[in-house]
Structure 1
Amino acid sequence: MAERLGVGVIGVGTIGRQHAANLASLVPRARLVAVADANPEAAQRVAAELAVPAWSTSAEELAANPDVEAVVIASSHFAHLEGILAAARHKKDVFCEKPMTISLEQADQAIAAVTEARVRLQVGFMRRYDPAYVAAKRQIEAGSIGSPVLVKATHRNLSVPPSLTSGGAGAFVDSAVHDYDNARWFLDDEVVEVHAVAANVLGPGCRPDDLSLTTLRFARGGLATVETYAACGYAYDVRTEIAGTAGTLFVGQLRQTGCELATAAGVAHDTVRHWLARFGEAYQIELTDWVRRTLAGEPSPVTGAGLDTAMTTLYGYVLGLAIGETLWDTTSREPLQPTDGVDP
């Protein structure tokens, strides 16, 4: 087994820069050997800041670099497929940030490419590595709440992120996808029915899904609700409840620290302000595990092929946004109810 894994990062925006920094200094068995970004100034700046020996502006050039043994894709959602295909062509294992792609057709292309190339593809759902979410999963596996039957998830941003502006990928693809995956993980089951509704409450400049609500029914009868709100104004508020037949688990909190101020005016405390403040540790743990698994030749816990059903479900939600509400058949990838006159 190799001692360290040479990794290249495609896309060095906010999350890509975080991944690059983790690989450069906080992931013990990784070597950050290359970065790439469509913006040459960004690529060059990050390479200089982190002492990375190579930088480029293309996924193809990075994947072709012989020092790159595996690839992290953190580019725009719309460019994920390009990175996956480049890595597959050069027989490099892949870690791709969620969402894997922005359409079912692209997902099929990605899965076919990595399958033919015999490389591994892991999709980045960092909440599976967050200590609080991991603790909840262990409690479920220990039987502490009996059989889990309901997941209730809230995802509210402090302010509107770029992905939820009029040119972004949208709440269903960018935000709610975390909770779709969590619900499948916590209930250990697959979705068979979906209802999705959305509204534009923040006005021009935001997408029509800046407020959304999704209801899921699972094969064994469990249910889940997922709420997203693009800009609640008070915190980065991500919380989850898992109710079982013998108890309930509560994951997440508004507070960033445990300090409270009590005066005659009342009691006050701080709040989580950014997703990296809440999940920064999870991103580091996730990449550390991916590097270890890649070096050891172990399978990934969240593979592209394993997400095929989840992707089918996800794009049912996107169609649901277009028609107001839909029930989605996750086997046939077709709506179960007619949608006369609607072209998604």
Structure 2
Amino acid sequence: MALPWQPEPLPRSEALLYAALPAYREHGLARFGPDGAVYSADALPVLERCRRTPLHADDLWVLASPKCGTHWTAEMAWLIQHDCDFAGAQSYLAPDRTHFLDAAAIMSPGWRQAAQQQGSDAVCRRLLQPIDGRPRPRLVNTHLPLSLCPPGLLDTCKVIYVARNPKDACVSYYKMLMSDSTLSPETTIEDFVTLYTEGKMVCLPFFPNVLQAWRQRQHPNMLFLTFEEMKRDLRAVIERTAEFLGKKLAAEELDRLQHHLSFESMRENKWVNKEDRIKGQKGADGERLSFMRKGQTGDWKNHLSDETSQKMDRWMEENLRGTGLTFVAEAPQQ
């Protein structure tokens, strides 16, 4: 299925963008779809393949903007969907138990080629495998906005969308990209906030992504969650998700799943946190590599200046006006 929109290349004059992302300098980045989602400039065939993903009523999709709780939510959803099969969960969440739909679109051509090579990391190679060979029921996770997902998705499949306050999401995205050396070491948090709020970063812009899902929150096949409510009352979110998926969990299963999904437990879970792959490595910023970093509400205060915080406040106010959506930006005082 061809995309009904032509990609719009992000020109080389976007000096801040290409200074921040060395791996994309040769082949470039482009905007795709009605909201201008940013992916590798050569990603059109990949996104067209994503759009024609076959849909089945027993499929479950987890959608989110980057660093908003995709892995956390997918781990919860997989275990509920598979009747709390904790033994079966002893393998990588992505790509073994979930299908990361737009992984190839996110990768630069160089990374994609390296991942496809016979001698490269097996996990990276599996990220690029087509969905057709995966057993059902399938759990699909993606950073694509609904507009780039297969038409009819919500009318066919259950969809869980997880949102997070964009200040924490932005800081966490910056830390991840800096730690895995995707970002140039010279890129400051202020530079990144500029790119983030302008929607000039891979998998962005943020607000078109989240608001498309928010407008569909009453659809019977949509469950709209937030990272902050998972932090505040995880058990209640587990129970809501189980009800949404038509599952009934015993009290013992709820207890065990709540413990398993606590952020402290998730951060030590090598199958989610990729711990046995990164093996204590440190990134370009000197921090120990960890996919699950802090998972805090309000950590942005430790990284954003007053001026940068106010800049994000104005951006959030402008985009949220009239939508009815609000974000919790700070953890409540105990």
Does 1 or 2 have the higher relative contact order (CA < 8 Å, sep 6+)? 2
Class of the TM-score when normalised by the shorter of the 2 chains = under 0.3
- TM-score, with normalisation over the residues of structure 1? 0.24
Higher helix share: 2
Higher strand share: 1
